[in-house]
Amino acid sequence: MDASFLHLETPETPMHVGSLMIFELPEGYQGDYYEDVKALLGKRLHLASVLCRKLAQMPFELAEPVWIEDDDIDLDYHVRSVTLRRPGTMAQLEQLAARLHSTLLDRSRPLWEMYVIEGLENGQVAFYTKAHHSGVDGKAGVEIAKVLYDVSPQMREVPPPRRKRNTGGYQLGMTELLQAAVANSVQQYRKLADLLPTAAKAMAAAASVVASQRSAGGARPLNLGLAPKTVFNDSVTNQRSYSTLSLPLADVKKLGRRVGGTVNTIVMAICSSALQRFLTERDLLPKESLIAIVPVSLRAEGDSAMNNQVSMVRVDLATDIKELPERFKAIHASSEAAKAVVRELKPVLGVDVPITGSPWLMTGLASLLGRSNLASRTPAAGNVLISNVPGPSMTLYMAGARMVHYFPVSIPFHGSALNITVQSYAGLLEFGLTACRRILSQDESYELVEHLRSALREIEALPPVEQTPGAATAA
């Protein structure tokens, strides 16, 4: 899974995830915030392994690359300073984030960059980060945040890094690389063999769940077919549009309990209504329902490993249903059915499967997909990526400044030109809409945000559902 994000990367599809944060400087602050941030990171880099490692490619790309430690990190390269031109609006900041997100990371260095962005008209400071998805998923990104940020304006002291004893050269040799490739493949095949009995049980349990999901007579089917073709099912360029939206999390939870859904259902429903209206206004809404591709975490409770532990499910957005109450129920039923299957298949979904020659094979296929326009011609599994990531519940600080917003920035890909990622933070639900600018322009991205606001107001106007005594709806 980690390596696939490397192999699928092309100039048109940078495979890094990021965040756009807004900070409130301490009252009366007179320092140089960029230098303060750089000094803080210099003291704490060793606490996050993903920030201190780089790639070593295998000979002839016959196997997956390996991570090696880099003890010579150039902070002046990785941590940069940018100033917005006047007046320094939020729209200018979002456009800058879109531009920064469109460029590839240097694979000869650790795969991350950070930008301190000054010049906002309200006196706040922005902080944009990006790290390659091969090293982190959304949950692992939150774990990095816990390492680099503080929970009070007082910066905590951390133990300094231990001095390393160099036993080799700057790069691994040919023999070491081949030994690592063979050992890794053997280990993965052994895991596959050990997992076979568990896999059989998990598949049987999942089949049982799917069989039990047969809809009542006349009800909407829960088993989804292929997605209809939309403007979002096209090849992408490397140019990005980006916009944000922030909602009070407590209000969304309360709304979910009132109308009979979870926070995830509310997110899916407002995205459904917004996309339905956006496409209808352009006479581009297909007769069949749109389908969302939704990442789901496979991470066990307490697991803070800096890697990818994620799978995908498909959720019916029910855009072919005009009446909102019925559409909301259909979305909730589809989302819960998908999660039930994942719960049964969780033991096998995250297993690594080694494929000899996968680097050049997958990269070649990714290039072919982008340059041949196959994305717009082949059947689609889904139309839009929608991700809901649980983030830190407490207020965070960096170098004494309070984090006001924590917006996610994610990855559009060929056939899924729009990615809507939602992350909770300190009582807020933060939306980040990342798209190919050729397919969804910056102005159209803002238009979609307004449709999201309107969709939320429509759900708020729904009548409350009758609650069974003693029952509670999950958040």
SS (H, E, C) the chain: CHHHHHHCCECCECCEEEEEEEEECCCCCCCCHHHHHHHHHHHHHHHCHHHCEEEECCHHHCCCCEEEECCCCCHHHHEEEEECCCCCCHHHHHHHHHHHHCCCCCCCCCCEEEEEEECCCCCCEEEEEEEECCCCCHHHHHHHHHHHCECCCCCCCCCCCCCCCCCCCCCCCHHHHHHHHHHHHHHHHHHHHHHHHHHHHHHHHHHHHHHHCCCCCCCCCCCCCCECCCCCCCCCCCCEEEEEEEEEHHHHHHHHHHHCCCHHHHHHHHHHHHHHHHHHHCCCCCCCCCEEEEEEECCCCCCCCCCCCEEEEEEECCCCCCCHHHHHHHHHHHHHHHHHHHHHHHHHHCCCCCCCCHHHHHHHHHHHHHHCCHHHCCCECCCEEEEEECCCCCCCEECCEEEEEEEEECCCECCECEEEEEEEECCEEEEEEEEECCCCCHHHHHHHHHHHHHHHHHHHCCCCCCCCCCCCCCC
* pLDDT confidence bin for 340, thresholds 50/70/90: confident
User: Taking 80 as the threshold, does the pLDDT of residue 220 lie above it?
Assistant: no
Q: For 2-24, what is the mean pLDDT?
A: 89
| 400 assigned to some structural domain | no
Q: Are residues 146 and 196 in the same domain?
A: no
| 220 assigned to some structural domain | yes
Lowest mean pLDDT among 195-199, 267-271, 275-279, 409-413: 195-199
Residue pLDDT, tens place only, 320-331: 999 999 999 999
Q: Are residues 142 and 199 in the same domain?
A: no
Q: Are residues 122 and 38 in the same domain?
A: yes
Measured CA to CA, the distance from residue 224 to residue 289 in angstroms comes to 10
Q: For 65-83, what is the mean pLDDT?
A: 91
* pLDDT confidence bin for 363, thresholds 50/70/90: low
Q: Which CATH number does the domain housing residue 42 bear?
A: 3.30.559.10
Q: Which CATH number does the domain housing residue 312 bear?
A: 3.30.559.30
User: Taking 80 as the threshold, does the pLDDT of residue 141 lie above it?
Assistant: no
| 431 assigned to some structural domain | yes
Q: Are residues 380 and 444 in the same domain?
A: yes
| Cβ atoms < 10 Å from Cβ of 468 | 7
User: Taking 80 as the threshold, does the pLDDT of residue 139 lie above it?
Assistant: no
| 361 assigned to some structural domain | no
Give the structural domain span for 301: 189-353+373-389+411-460
Task: List C-alpha distances in Å: 142 to 139, 388, 393, 442.
Answer: 5, 13, 11, 27
Residue pLDDT, tens place only, 424-452: 999 999 999 999 999 999 999 999 999 99
Measured CA to CA, the distance from residue 123 to residue 117 in angstroms comes to 11
pLDDT of residue 71: 81
Q: Are residues 146 and 194 in the same domain?
A: no
Q: Are residues 282 and 207 in the same domain?
A: yes
Tokens of 111: 């795969």
pLDDT of residue 206: 46
Using the 3D structure, point to which of 114, 147, 179 is the last residue of a domain.
179
Residues annotated catalytic, as ranges: 133
Measured CA to CA, the distance from residue 77 to residue 98 in angstroms comes to 20
* pLDDT confidence bin for 344, thresholds 50/70/90: low
pLDDT of residue 268: 96
- For all residues of the chain together, what is the average pLDDT? 83
| 55 assigned to some structural domain | yes
Using the 3D structure, point to which of 145, 179, 213 is the last residue of a domain.
179
Sign of the alpha-carbon dihedral angle for 391, 393, 395, 396: negative
User: Taking 80 as the threshold, does the pLDDT of residue 8 lie above it?
Assistant: yes
Q: Are residues 6 and 103 in the same domain?
A: yes
| 466 assigned to some structural domain | no
Measured CA to CA, the distance from residue 385 to residue 399 in angstroms comes to 34
- What is the residue whose two structure tokens read 């009800």? 219
Number of domains in the chain: 2
Q: Are residues 140 and 194 in the same domain?
A: no
Q: For 229-248, what is the mean pLDDT?
A: 96
Tokens of 419: 């990615």
Q: Are residues 242 and 294 in the same domain?
A: yes
Task: List C-alpha distances in Å: 80 to 31, 39, 75, 441.
Answer: 17, 12, 8, 27
Q: Are residues 243 and 315 in the same domain?
A: yes
pLDDT of residue 354: 52
Q: Are residues 231 and 377 in the same domain?
A: yes
Q: Are residues 145 and 270 in the same domain?
A: no
